[in-house]
Structure 1
Amino acid sequence: MSASTRHTYIQIHPLDNVLVALQDLTAGTQINFAGHTLTLADNVQAKHKFTLQALQPGDSIYMYGVLVGKTTTAIAQGGGITVNNIVHAANDFQLGNRKTEWHKPDVSRYQDRTFMGYHRHDGSVGTANYWLVIPLVFCENRNINVLKEALTAKLGFAKPRGYENEVDSLINMYQTGKSAAELLQADLQLTPESIGAHKLFKNIDGIKFINHDMGCGGTKTDSDALCGLLAGYITHPNIAGATVLSLGCQHAQASILQTEILKRDANFNKPLIVLEQQQLGTESALLHEALKQTFVGLIEANKQERQPAPLSKLCIGLECGGSDGFSGISANPTLGYLSDMLVALGGSVVLAEFPELCGVEQELSDRCIDEPTAKKFMNLMQTYNARAEADGSGFYANPSPGNIKDGLITDAIKSAGAAKKGGTSPITAVLDYPEKVTQPGLNLLCTPGSDIESTTAEVASGANIVLFTTGLGTPTGNPVAPVVKISTNTKLYQKMPDIIDIDCGTIIEGEETIEQTAIRMLELVIDIASGNQQTKAQKLGQDDFIPWKRGVSL
């Protein structure tokens, strides 16, 4: 769609036999398409699809030029497709020829652009400078929380508060005899109030405290993967140093963590404090030591300052959550164009969520730079899906109720749109969770489609910013990497301004092209990477962190 042109429907690919409604359409509406006129047989809501021809049971449904479903009943020409008349279907895939030609965008205007970042000894550049406090096992979660209570406000890293004042208002109303009905009708105004001391360490963006429910009691595979994930965070370019609390007897041993750290950074030299409770004895001994050593580590971390860095030092994680029928038309293709821009500049991008690549495996495997890389991708996809099916599910079960309600009624429809985040560039590497990005260009990372698990993994692999598209709205953030929330439609952007950073609904409205929106988005990314602007998730303190248990999670 071109700027300033508003359409009521769109065909995404010339091979598609369905059109996507861009606004609510009523039965009987005349649709003029490709020199022919058809009449809508059903009411079709915006984001949903209707057929170009009459279809019989067993016929194929194509979107984005690929098979996305099979009909289960006859559908009249102009009939809406729903969960009641089609089911998921996707083409098989096999090792094919390399297809690495791509649409390389003109990035001459950005060749000399820089962002202000934190340069690390391994050559990476952080978009933030955090100290990390993490447990090796869930037994230490309480002690992590105690450290958070002790350090955050006193060092000036506490987020503004406001809801405590509203609770005070409710207490006062209750004590003065107001009824339950009056309490429910009360207009409570949020009145933020800063708490905590003045920020002591000027060059530290915050102390991040992470909890999780792993490290012991599960499989050894999961605890080893946890150590790899935590090592990814400790060696992350946005991390200046870390405090790690260990109980001592758990599966996730400190020695395994150290091995995983050296895998990712053979010359690791960040301040790293590892304390074992069973060795130190009392809780107070553990916490006193943690407080003293962490404070000294913060002094060292505060010596680092932002310096100019080329855009090739950006590693962008590509994510979607709460997707809708516009995701593959507006926001995801915009990320794809931005991805191609960053690759052209020598940067790295990470496309994950393997259950949401179902149906486009052939295209992606053909785009891999060599056959070993393609085979690794295909093997991971087949193994993951087989494991899911063995547990009574499969990739076909990936769409959520919200996805289905807003037009993504099969996994292949969802996947074909989700894959647009990866643009058109060759795939330079395929990574298994929780491997680290070491190659510039487009990297595929095996993760679930689950938003937070996937975002958590992308950051562990090295993403120093995450671009997150959503059509329904999700507050997802991350403790150490800025998560930029991108709406697929303007209605969402206007409804949830506290969680959405940028609107791609301008494409649906015909106000901007995908290229124009991508350029606008890249400018915001540069600003956030330089510390000049915080994302909405950062302002809300939305620090989501969920490790992937390698069992089935779609």
Structure 2
Amino acid sequence: MSGQSILGYVRPDGRVGIRNHLLVMSTVICSSFVARRIADQVQGAVAIENPFGCGQLEPDLEITRRTLVNTAKNPNVGGVLVVGLGCEQIQADDLVREIEKTGKPVEKVVIQEEDGGTPAAIEKGVRLLRKMAEEVLSQRPEEVDMSNLVLGVECGGSDATSGLASNPVVGYVADRVVDLGGTVILSETPEMIGAEDILANRAVSREVGERIVRTVRRWVELAASYNVDLVGTQPAPSNIAGGISTIEEKSLGAIIKGGSRPVQGMVDYAEEVRGKGLWLMDTPGYDIMSVVGMVAGGATLVIFTTGRGTPTGNPIAPVIKVTANPQIARKMRENIDFDASTVILGQETIEQAGERLFKLVMDVARGKPTRAELLGFREFMIHKIIPSF
């Protein structure tokens, strides 16, 4: 026990969430409209509009399936309605069977099975979800130990202030969470290029270290197979405009947000993280895909640093936006939750700003909404590797 508590929803499988969403999840893009219309009519519901689910080959089909199932299993979700079309590769029944293992309520609607098509499916879905809401939304959060928190850390639209201030401040918070018995997930494998040996040297075993190096280098080789020099195309133009000169510089600034504690292991994209401490997840650097992967992996809260100003959120996990760029903190003040420019301006140390951010994390984990939640940012995109067929 850490001695510090948050407000959590204890699920039947023992996992603890800090939000209590009803999730309406489409199995395929063809059922996304119906899923959205159902969610819009029920209080407490959010929709995930899956852009894939058909025309996919392995391993992309498995990535999509794993992402959908594990997102539904995330303890920020109290109940799930699966909306299928009927003829897609990822069938509603298969998802329902997996999600039911958590013990949370799960229902399904399949459009092609309804007499009346999409209007009938929407009507049935609303009816099922409202009944589910009576059970799920009546649950009240309870005091739980801070060690139940699973924190994802992300950066997007980085500039020089990201590596100098905002990411180190987040890294301070990551260490605090780990020291209190919690879990931290660091992702964006392409943004570890040039810094993989540092992470490997912090691994708890030789096997973990070797996997880190092997996984990072696979991304370079994948780009090379398409005649793309990944090292030569990074950093992105916006990063360069913000003062970042090389991919190594970008990576060194990026990995700091994971803190300094030992790396316990590395998991695949959207794979559930089952241990405590600091974990790496193999994801692309594309912000939305990366955040979706970590949330599917179990992250119940995400800290997202941005030097250039990125407003995106997530359907089921609160996203805390941090910037150390004074101009962005001022211009995008309605999107930014935490201003770390005080470090750049010499008004605070990293530790002092870190304590302030840690307090905000605790507040959000006790129910305080983030700007992304208040403004309705709920972006969702699943990683894919090969073309659709």
Query: What is residue 122 of structure 1 aligned with on the other side?
Result: 13
- What per-residue deviation string (whole Å, max 9, x for no partner) do you get for residues 118-140 of structure 1? 11122221111000001100110
User: Any idea what SS the aligned residue of 1:291 has?
Assistant: helix
Query: What is residue 286 of structure 1 aligned with on the other side?
Result: 121
- What per-residue deviation string (whole Å, max 9, x for no partner) do you get for residues 353-386 of structure 1? 0000001111111111112222222222222221
CA contact (8 A) 1:489 1:506 kept: no
| 1:143 partnered with 2:143 | no
Query: What is residue 485 of structure 1 aligned with on the other side?
Result: 321
RMSD: 1.7
| 1:414 partnered with 2:250 | yes
Separation of aligned partners in 1, 2:305 and 2:314: 15
Give the AA of the match of 2:34: N
Separation of aligned partners in 2, 1:454 and 1:398: 17
Query: What is residue 233 of structure 1 aligned with on the other side?
Result: 71
Query: What is residue 523 of structure 1 aligned with on the other side?
Result: 359
Give the AA of the match of 2:363: D
Give the AA of the match of 2:169: T
Separation of aligned partners in 1, 2:376 and 2:190: 29
| 1:338 partnered with 2:176 | no
Query: What is residue 431 of structure 1 aligned with on the other side?
Result: 267
- What per-residue deviation string (whole Å, max 9, x for no partner) do you get for residues 429-483 of structure 1? 2001120110100010001111111111111111111000011111011110000
Separation of aligned partners in 2, 1:389 and 1:213: 27
Give the AA of the match of 1:521: L
| 1:386 partnered with 2:221 | yes
User: Any idea what SS the aligned residue of 2:342 has?
Assistant: helix
Separation of aligned partners in 2, 1:250 and 1:223: 11
Cα offset, 1:393, TM superposition: 2.2
In the TM superposition, what are the counterparts of 1:442-453 in structure 2 within 5 Å?
A: 442-453=278-289
CA contact (8 A) 1:395 1:411 kept: no
CA contact (8 A) 1:398 1:449 kept: no
- What per-residue deviation string (whole Å, max 9, x for no partner) do you get for residues 227-286 of structure 1? 110111111110001111111221122354356547xxxx42111112222233432332
Separation of aligned partners in 1, 2:328 and 2:274: 36
User: Any idea what SS the aligned residue of 1:248 has?
Assistant: coil
In the TM superposition, what are the counterparts of 1:495-510 in structure 2 within 5 Å?
A: 495-510=331-346
How many equivalent residue pairs? Answer: 385
Query: What is residue 103 of structure 1 aligned with on the other side?
Result: none
Higher helix share: 2
CA contact (8 A) 1:228 1:260 kept: no
Query: What is residue 190 of structure 1 aligned with on the other side?
Result: none
Query: What is residue 539 of structure 1 aligned with on the other side?
Result: 374
- Gapped regions of structure 1 (runs ≥ 5): 1-109, 156-205
Query: What is residue 103 of structure 2 aligned with on the other side?
Result: 269
User: Any idea what SS the aligned residue of 2:161 has?
Assistant: coil
Separation of aligned partners in 2, 1:374 and 1:257: 34
TM-score with structure 1 length normalisation?
0.67
Q: Which of residues 512, 525, 529 in structure 1 aligns to 2:348?
A: 512
Give the AA of the match of 2:102: F
Query: What is residue 467 of structure 1 aligned with on the other side?
Result: 303
In the TM superposition, what are the counterparts of 1:16-35 in structure 2 within 5 Å?
A: none
Cα offset, 1:388, TM superposition: 1.7
Q: Which has the larger radius of gyration?
A: 1
In the TM superposition, what are the counterparts of 1:365-384 in structure 2 within 5 Å?
A: 365-384=200-219
Query: What is residue 316 of structure 1 aligned with on the other side?
Result: 151
Cα offset, 1:112, TM superposition: 1.6
Separation of aligned partners in 2, 1:358 and 1:221: 23
Separation of aligned partners in 2, 1:551 and 1:393: 15
Separation of aligned partners in 2, 1:394 and 1:345: 41
What percent identity do the matched residue pairs reach?
36
In the TM superposition, what are the counterparts of 1:36-185 in structure 2 within 5 Å?
A: 111-149=2-40, 151-152=41-42, 155=43
Tell me whether 133-142 or 486-495 shows the greater mean CA deviation. 486-495
Cα offset, 1:207, TM superposition: 0.9
Separation of aligned partners in 1, 2:222 and 2:373: 36
